[in-house]
Amino acid sequence: MVDDLYQETILDHSKRPRNCHPMPDANRKAEGYNPLCGDELKLFLKVENDIVQDVSFMGSGCAISTASASLMTESLKGKTREEALKLLERFHDLLTTDTPVTKELGKLVVFCGVRDYPARVKCATLAWHTLKSALNSVEIEEPVTTE
Ligand code: ZN
């Protein structure tokens, strides 16, 4: 029964992804690609004072990769860079090891079933790998104005 609920959440987020739009005033961006499945993803971040103020994505991919990106964007707002990277680690553990589910994962636990399908793990982690490279990227410089 719990599995059904998880399945439903993934389906819902893959059909109606949240925060799925470009962000013109993003100051961090990164692109991710999962050749095994063909998932593509562009991630936009607005990071101020080391806190993720806003996050959005655009992409085309399978249900798992889209739902994962959607749920990730919901989980990140208001987190510090360090907290975001820690959450990435927890999520990766959830998908690849038998570690008990921790509370900080929140809704992200719906992906625990992916553990049984190693080929889909890359789909579920694509958004997170892209997040890591966006957080580590150099800040996009403000356009120069003469004002
Ligand atoms: Zn995929």
Distance 125 CA to ligand 1 centre (A): 10
Distance 120 CA to ligand 1 centre (A): 6
Over its length of 147 residues, how does the chain's per-residue pLDDT go in tens digits?
Answer: 567 889 999 999 999 999 999 999 999 999 999 999 999 999 999 999 999 999 999 999 999 999 999 999 999 999 999 999 999 999 999 999 887 777 889 999 999 989 988 889 999 999 999 999 999 877 766 666 676
The CATH number assigned to the domain holding 32 equals 3.90.1010.10
Q: Considering its fold, how many domains does the chain have in total?
A: 1
Residues contacting 96, CB < 8 A, separation 6+: 115, 121
Could you tell me if residue 48 is inside a domain? yes
Q: What is the DSSP string of 105-139?
A: GGGGGGGGGGGG-HHHHHHHHHHHHHHHHHHHSPP
Q: Full-prediction pTM beyond 0.85?
A: yes
Could you tell me if residue 122 is inside a domain? yes
Distance 25 CA to ligand 1 centre (A): 28
Q: How far is 58 from 66, CA to CA, in rounded Å?
A: 9
Q: Which domain holds residue 79?
A: 2-137
Could you tell me if residue 14 is inside a domain? yes
